[in-house]
Chains A and B, each alone.
Chain A
Amino acid sequence: MAMTAQDAGGRPETAAPYAIELKGISKAFGPVQANKDIDLRVAKGSIHGIIGENGAGKSTLMSILYGFYKPDRGRILVNGEPIAIADSQTAIRAGIGMVFQHFKLVQNFTVLENIILGVEDGRLLRPSLAKARGVLKQLAHEYELNVDPDETIEELSVGHQQRVEILKALYRQADILILDEPTGVLTPAEADHLFRILEGLKAEGKTIILITHKLREIMDITDTVSVMRRGEMVASVSTAETSPEALAELMVGRKVLLNVDKTPARPGAPVLEVRDLHLIDHEGVERLRGISFDIRAGEILGIAGVSGNGQTQLLELLGGYPEKGARVSGAIRMNGEALDLTGAGSDARTRRRRGIGHVPEDRQTEGLIMDFTAWENIAFGYHDKAEYQKGWLMDNDAIRRDAKKYMEDFDCRPRNCDLAARDFSGGNQQKLVVARELERNPDLLLIGQPTRGVDIGAIEFIHKRIIELRDAGKAVLLVSVELDEILSLSDRIAVMFDGRIMGERLPDQTTTGELGLLMAGVTDTEHHAAEDGIPPEHRHVDDLPDETANGGPR
């Protein structure tokens, strides 16, 4: 707790003032104390990680630093100078730049136009654009931040859009860069490239604050790390002197099992057989291009991939609600019997009756009705079951009974089934959905992003229940963009890219590097690697994580 950035990382000249120093920052929203007496010191020229569960107060703290919120109490020092940050303009003038989790770019503007937006030099655009072009070229050269300045944002990949955000901050002469969950939308290769950029920025003396919930990233790139829990800063330590386990324990406040405990799978008969599935959406874009796979009883098939490569469409189609106007072809068999792909028998209700449970990717608009109470949500999708009917009316008492039991079984807190779903935390909302789907004991569980926005404690719990379902001889289709999750839960891994399955791997016979290549659309590496005799990690591809470059800029 007492340990500060002095002891660790950063620069040797400890006499220099800190880039950022927060003293006793407090902020309350109504009865919720989002930040309690926070102290934070970030050394100049260092990469400082801030880690914590959802709702720990990380984002609030950074929003205070960027002038979105005014702290109730406390002082902010930038480069040793006390400063009152009233709005983001003040923050920018103080040299603070922010890269948000959800980019703030104008989609149909070019890169250049986005970069000068708000900092035009005069009424005429041309001189500003010309100047920006020059600066951009230099920045690209210095930091490996290559982006075509004349491309419109909508044409760029997510990774490149993020670079534009970073360029925007640098163009505004930011010396302190705050990145909020920057790798959530990136492939492993893109993430590695981002880290290389950050190392380069650090070498140039920039200070970087990285907000994340991924322990691995903290360990890989930061010099120092601060841990937040329930609005308080519980520790600030040098990264070299800590471990993922220790950090996880600090975040949650108790010991956490990081690795999932599971025995090898004992697959039985095929439960789900998918053959040559195609889906063309209402705009005529082919989202699924011939997907085929099997899942056996007692087996978890993990689907890895960057989001937006057809996983959502696959889950929705299997769950019985493909997008309106989509054209579907192929065949699905469940326990040996064909499932309807179109028509009245292809809806979600029928799928549930056939023994398919579904934890959707988006629990807030699909999995739950946020205004409904917890008990109403416990019946959601199963509200037509005979045991919930009493003549013409619904048997709300029966539903409440189940809700209470499920919430007990899945440790949903607060244990009050009359609260609206929106009054639960992200983790407990997810527990409601998982409880509802798992308690029906489905033959096949479809589960998308099971732990997105869920705190570590709940992640551990949900993972355990998924394994238990598998061990009970059920089939599980797991879709996740978190490679660690895929690797630790799956018995087999299929990687999706652009509506196709690029290859299947066994989790203990593959690496993140290899999966990352498949996720980036490099065709089956196993084949080529075997032919060329080159291990997949060393194959050269654009944006490939280059191990030798990790130490800093070339």
Chain B
Amino acid sequence: MDKMPKWADVILTPLISLVLAMAISALVILAIGESPAAALKTMVDGALGSSYGWGFTLYYTTNFIFTGLAVAVAYHARLFNIGGEGQAMMGGLGVALVLLSVPLPHWLLALPAAMIGAALFGAAWALIPAWLQAKRGSHIVITTIMFNFIAAALLNYVLVNILRPVGSMDPASARFPESTYLPALTDIAAAIGIQWGKNTPVNITFLIAILACLLVWLLIWRTRLGYEIRALGRSEPGALYAGISPVRIIVIAMLISGGLAGLMAINNVMGESERLVLNAVEGAGFIGIAVALMGRNHPFGVFLAALLFGFLYQGGGELALWTSIPRELIVVIQALVILFTGALDNMVRMPLERMFLALRKRRAA
């Protein structure tokens, strides 16, 4: 028997964690002599108060959906992919190489081509750690972290020495051809007669991200591969007993995971900056871990958690812009959210479970 209803487990627990994190954040804001209420208002207004704010929030959300899904898929095979950051960087490189070397006359052609490049490069970057884990037992956490650093160094080298246009002082690639620019969500809205979100970076990738959530859900819960991934994640001896090859599943799960992380580049590299810059990922790979954790590795949960972190990102930026609260405080708030929803999950869950048990007992009596 379940200790508490599912809705309490999935909704109530993270919500209470969130409130706790907010409460402590408020205390911190009080301690530096600012008003928590005003800060919250700034954040909400800045992130959700206008279509402009929403535009940025959803742009960040899109990044976090991809990296969150990447962590979630790997986690179902009990693989902790910390390498989303590096895989997303390599995805960016894939996008840049495709768009700069292949002449593509229209974004409808450029988009699938760039997606293939992004996914392939991201997956390739996950392949080596996956192989080492599957064949040699090298721990995936260690290897993927190391591959983040290697990716950063590699990207640096490629940008400075290969992709940098002659005469440029900026470690960035040339701009992608204009024919490959992705339609912003504003344009799509305008096409159906709605005026929305002018001058924001959110683009068609947001819709692709939602599609990705759906596909990942299908993959994990409706396909044979997903069944095998979950079985291996729960019990390796069980998988062997059932004739499921751990090597095969580890490699495939990590390829999908890396591919998803790589796909983030469609949003930030192709959709937003329209060229490859040095620090394009901006830590989204790591946020993905928190997003997956908070979303309980379920695509819908990942979507909601990504939205929350999108809000924190955009709201935090506003906070730094309009108040004297330092930008670093946002990192503190994000850290608190991660701490409460992830690491201290049981602190909230246990009392809740006890409460529901007591309630049930009273009802039975």
Contact = CB atoms under 8 A, between A and B. Distances in A.
B234 A349 contact: no
Contacts of A362: 237
Contacts, number: 74
Interface in B252-280: none
Main secondary structure of the interface of B (DSSP, over half): helix
Interface string A379-394: 1110110000100111
Interface residues of B, number: 24
Interface stretch (B86-94, B288-296, B357-365): B357-365
Given A369-B235, A372-B230, A383-B227, A358 B241 contact: yes
Nearest to A376: B227
Interface in A281-315: none
Contacts of B222: 393-394, 396
A314 to B, nearest CB: 15
B242 A380 contact: yes
A30 B230 CA distance: 30
Central interface residue in B1, B240, B245, by most chain A CB within 10 Å: B240
Contacts of A31: 1, 357, 360-361, 364
Interface in A350-379: 350-352, 358, 360, 362, 365-372, 376, 379
B243 A381 contact: yes
Nearest to B226: A394
A277 B217 CA distance: 45
Contacts of B360: 31
A37 interface: no
Given A30-B357, A31-B1, A348 B243 contact: yes
A360 B241 contact: yes
A321 interface: yes
A352 B244 CA distance: 12
A320 interface: yes
A362 to B, nearest CB: 7
B241 A384 contact: no
A347 interface: yes
Interface string B210-225: 0000000010001110
Contact of B241 (A370, A376, A381): A381
Nearest to B232: A369
Contacts of A393: 218, 222-223
Nearest to B356: A30
Nearest to B1: A423
A352 B243 CA distance: 9
A369 B231 contact: yes
Contacts of A392: 223
B318 interface: no
Contacts of A358: 241
B3 interface: yes
A319 interface: yes
A197 to B, nearest CB: 36
B240 A369 contact: no
Interface in B102-158: none
A372 B243 contact: no
A348 B241 contact: yes
A390 B124 CA distance: 30
Interface centre among B218, B234, B360, B364 (most CB of A within 10 A): B234
Contacts of B49: none
Most B CB atoms within 10 A — which of A319, A368, A369, A393? A369
A464 B1 CA distance: 30
10 contacts: A30-B357, A31-B357, A347-B243, A366-B241, A367-B241, A372-B230, A372-B234, A380-B238, A392-B223, A394-B224
Given A31-B360, A394-B224, 10 more contacts: A30-B361, A349-B244, A362-B237, A366-B238, A368-B238, A369-B231, A369-B235, A372-B234, A392-B223, A423-B1
| 6 nearest CB pairs, A to B | A349-B243, A348-B243, A381-B242, A321-B240, A366-B241, A369-B234
